[in-house]
Amino acid sequence: NAAILMKAYDVEAVHQMRIGFRRLNSLLEFYRYLFKLPDALQAELRWMNQILSGSRDIDTLKNDTLPLIRKKMVSLNAVSKLNPIIDSAAEKKHAQLTSAINSKRYSTLIQNLKIFVIERHWRDSLPLKAQNRLTEHLNQGASIRLTKLHNKLINKGKNIDSVGKKQLHRIRIAAKRLRYAFEFLQSLYPQKKVQPYLKKLSKLQDLLGFLNDSAVANRLLKEIKVIDISCQDEARLIARSIQSEAKIKYKKMEAFWSHFASSKPFW
C-alpha cells in the first residue's frame, strides 16, 4: 500500500494501510506482557497513525457519509455547496500523507521496526518467567487472553443505553482489539465455531464504526464551519442529518449489543 501511495493517492490503499497499522498496534498491545517497543519507536508509530487517520477520516466523510446523507436529504444544495470545501480539505490531507510516506522519517520508521523484529534485542531484558513463556505453545494462554479482552468489552458496555461519546469510543476500541486478537488466534479453534462468533463481532464493530464515523464527520464539519463561514448553515444542516442517522444506528446497536453480551464465548 505504501508503494502505491508513493506514486499516487489511492483511497483504498490508505484504508488498507491504516488497517495494517491498527493491526500492528493491536498485536503490540496483545503481547505487551512479553515486550514493548522503545518509546521513540512508539512515538513514530503514533505519528504515522495520526497522518493516516487524518486522511482516512476526510475520505470517509467525502466518500461514505456524505453520499449516504445525500440520499436522505430532500435538498441537495447543502451537500453540493460543501463538496468543493471538503475536496480542498481532502487534498491537503492527501498531500500530507504522500509527503510523509515519501519522507526519510517514514523509511526510518519501517527500518527500525524491521530491526526490532529481526534482531530481537527486546529478549535481552526479559525476566526469566517471560522468557519461559516464549517457548509455550500458542494454545497455552490464548483462551485466557481472549476471555480477558471479551470481558473487558462487556464491562465497558454496561449501561450502553446511557453512555456518553467518550465511553462509546472506548467500547469501539475494545471491540476492535478483541476482533484483531481473535483473528490472530482463530486458526487454533474449529472454524465452525469461529465463523459465527466472528460474524457477530464484526456486525457489532460495524455498528460502532458507523457511530464513530458520524462523530468524526461532525467534528470535521465544525472545522469546515470555521474555515469557511459562508457555509455554516449548510454544515449545520448536514450535521443534523448525520445525527438523525446516528440515532437510528444507535438503536440498532443497542438491540444487537443485548444479543452479543448475553452470548458466552465458545472457547
CB 143 within 8 A of CB 267: yes
Residue-level pLDDT, tens digit, the chain, 267 residues: 888 888 888 999 999 999 999 999 988 888 887 788 899 999 999 999 999 999 999 999 999 998 888 887 655 677 888 889 999 999 999 999 999 999 999 999 999 999 998 988 888 877 887 777 777 777 778 898 899 999 999 999 988 888 888 899 999 999 999 999 999 999 999 999 999 999 999 999 999 999 999 999 999 998 887 777 778 888 888 888 999 999 999 999 999 999 999 888 998
What integer pLDDT is reported at residue 68 of this predicted model? 85
What integer pLDDT is reported at residue 73 of this predicted model? 66
The three grid cell numbers given for residue 209, joined into one nine-digit string: 464504526
First to last CA, the chain: 35
- Angle at which helices 39-60 and 104-119 pack, to 10 degrees? 130
CA-to-CA distance for 165 and 158, rounded, in angstroms?
14
The three grid cell numbers given for residue 108, joined into one nine-digit string: 526510518
User: Which CATH code is given to the segment(s) 143-267?
Assistant: 1.40.20.10
pTM for the structure as a whole: 0.84
CA-to-CA distance for 258 and 242, rounded, in angstroms?
24
Taking alpha carbons only, the member of 104, 13, 105, 5 closest to residue 56 is: 13
What integer pLDDT is reported at residue 36 of this predicted model? 82
Task: Report the amino acid identity of residue 51.
Answer: I
What integer pLDDT is reported at residue 75 of this predicted model? 59
What integer pLDDT is reported at residue 165 of this predicted model? 84
CB 142 within 8 A of CB 185: yes
Domain ranges of the chain: 1-135, 143-267
Kindly report the number of other CB atoms within 10 A of residue 162's CB atom.
7
What integer pLDDT is reported at residue 128 of this predicted model? 80
